[in-house]
Chains A and B, each alone.
Chain A
Amino acid sequence: MNTTASPAWAAGVCAGLHAAGSRHVVYVPDNPLSHVLRTLRDAYPDVRTTIATREEEAFGIAAGLYMGGVRPTVMLQSSGLGNSINAIASLLVPYRIPALVIVSLRGDAGEWNAAQVPMGEAVRPICAAVGLPARTVETADAAEAIVAAAGLGAFDARQARACLLPRRVTVPDSAGRAAPAAQGHRA
C-alpha cells in the first residue's frame, strides 16, 4: 500500500482514540483532519468511519452509536462546532451521552482567512457555556496522551469531552503567522 507517513500529531490522535476504546469516528472533513483519516484507514482497520453532511448530524449519529454499545468519536473543524451547539446542549449534555470530540481549530495563530477568526475565538467560550470540557493539544507529542485521557474520561464519566487541535500543531508551516484581525485584509 502506498501511504504517506502521517504527522506525529495525527498518529497521536489515532492512537489516543483507539486507546480510549473508540471504534467509530463520525466526521465532517477538514484539511488537517485528512491526515487522521488516512492514518485510520491505513493503520486502524478496526475503526469504522462515517461522513456526516453537517456536524450536528454527526453528534446525533454518535449518540445512537453510544446507546448501541459503540464508543463514538466526533471529528470536526471548529467552524462546525457552531453548527453543533444545540445537539451538544440538548442531547449529549442532558442525557449524559459521552463522545470523544476532536476539533481542528481555525481562526487561531496561523490562520490566513479572517472570516474564520470570530468562530475560532468563540470555540472555548462555547465549550464552557454548554458544558463541554475542552483541552488543547499544545504539542504534537502530547496528542496521544491528551486524546486518550479525554476519551477515557468521557466514557468513564459519561460526559462528552473535546480535544482542540491548534493550527500551530496541525499546520506547523503556518507557525509564527499571527491570526488576521477579524475585519480587514491586506493581501
Chain B
Amino acid sequence: MTRLDATRILVALAGDEPIIASLGHPAYDLFAAGDRAANFYTWGSMGLASSIGLGLAMAQPDRRVFVVDGDGALLMNLGSLATIGWERPANLVLIVWDNESYATTGGQDTATKHGTDLAAASRAMGIAGAVTARTPAEFESAVARAGREPGPWAIVAKVAESAPTTKPPLDYVGIKQRFMAAIGCAEAAASGEPA
C-alpha cells in the first residue's frame, strides 16, 4: 500500500469532513488524491498537524476531523498524543502515514524503523482506539469504523513511499479561507466600521 493509495481511500470515505495535512509528502498526496475545499494543507510547522486537528475537533464537535500526519512529524510532537489522550475528542481521527522514513527530506530512517511503535505509544497516552493498518483492506476498515464510532482514533498506516509529483498551491490565506468556508466557519468579509 503506497501512501497515495491509502490517501485515496481516505478521501473516498471522508465525505465533506475536514482533513488536516502535515507538510510535505502527506499534503502533496492529499492534493493529488483529491483537492477539496475541506483540505487544510500546512506548509510549515512540522509536527503540529495533530494539534491543529485537536483544536478543530474541540471547536467543531459535530464534525469528524481527520488528520494525515507523518511518522517523523508525530515523533516531533509526541506530547500531542498525551493532550489528545487527556481531552479525548470523540470526533478526532489521527492517521499516521508510517513509512519509517523522513521521506520528504531524502528518506533518512525514523525511529519507527528501529522499534518505535506509534500505535502502542498512542494507546499508552490514553488513545484507546489506536490500531495499525498494513493493507488497503485493513486501512479502509479502520477508517470506516473511525468515521462512525466514537474516538479519538489513531490509525498508524504502514505505507510505502509514493514519490509525489504535484504540490498544493502556496496561497496560505486562500487555503485557510477556502477551508473555513467549507466547514461552515467562513471568515467574515472585511467590512467597514460606522464612521
Minimum CB–CB distance for B6 against chain A, Å:
23
**With A61-B54, A64-B57, A67-B40 known to touch, is A91 a contact of B82 (CB < 8 Å)?**
no
Minimum CB–CB distance for B92 against chain A, Å:
10
How far apart sit A70 and B180, CA to CA, in the bound complex (Å)?
12
Given B43, B48, B50, B55, which contacts A72 in the complex, CB threshold below 8 Å?
B55
Of the listed stretches B29-37, B96-104, B169-177, name the one at the interface; the rest are far from the partner chain: B169-177
A54: Cβ under 8 A from any B Cβ: yes
User: Please, what's the 1-or-0 string for B59-87, where 1 marks a CB less than 8 Å from any CB in chain A?
Assistant: 11000000000000000010110110011
Task: Using C-beta atoms within 8 Å of the partner chain, give the interface range for chain B.
Answer: 35 or more
B106: Cβ under 8 A from any A Cβ: no
Question: In the assembled complex, which residues on chain B have CB atoms less than 8 Å from the CB atom of A135?
Answer: none
**With A68-B185, A96-B176 known to touch, is A56 a contact of B44 (CB < 8 Å)?**
no
B54 touches A64 (CB 8 A): yes
Which chain A residues numbered 38 to 92 have a C-beta less than 8 Å away from chain B? 48, 50-54, 56-70, 72, 86-87, 89-91
How far apart sit A62 and B179, CA to CA, in the bound complex (Å)?
16
CB closest residue in chain A, given B46: A86
Minimum CB–CB distance for A82 against chain B, Å:
16
Question: In the assembled complex, which residues on chain B have CB atoms less than 8 Å from the CB atom of A64?
Answer: 20, 51-59
Question: In the assembled complex, which residues on chain A have CB atoms less than 8 Å from the CB atom of B58?
Answer: 24, 48, 50, 61, 64-65, 68, 70
CB closest residue in chain B, given A98: B187
**With A50-B83, A64-B20 known to touch, is A91 a contact of B59 (CB < 8 Å)?**
no
Question: In the assembled complex, which residues on chain A have CB atoms less than 8 Å from the CB atom of B184?
Answer: 69
A97: Cβ under 8 A from any B Cβ: yes
B47: Cβ under 8 A from any A Cβ: yes
A65 touches B80 (CB 8 A): no
A91 touches B173 (CB 8 A): no
B165: Cβ under 8 A from any A Cβ: no
A94: Cβ under 8 A from any B Cβ: yes
A57 touches B80 (CB 8 A): yes
A158 touches B172 (CB 8 A): no
CB closest residue in chain A, given B86: A51
B47 touches A94 (CB 8 A): no
B79 touches A53 (CB 8 A): yes
B180 touches A53 (CB 8 A): no
Minimum CB–CB distance for A128 against chain B, Å:
19
B79 touches A52 (CB 8 A): yes
B105: Cβ under 8 A from any A Cβ: no
Which chain B residues numbered 11 to 53 have a C-beta less than 8 Å away from chain A? 20, 40, 42-53
**With A63-B48, A64-B56, A94-B44 known to touch, is A53 a contact of B80 (CB < 8 Å)?**
yes
B60 touches A61 (CB 8 A): no
**List of 8 A-B pairs having minimum Cβ-Cβ separation, nearest first:** A64-B55, A90-B44, A68-B59, A60-B51, A53-B79, A60-B48, A64-B56, A91-B45
* Chain B contacts to A: CB under 8 angstroms: 20, 40, 42-60, 77, 79-80, 82-83, 86-87, 172-173, 175-176, 179-180, 183-185, 187
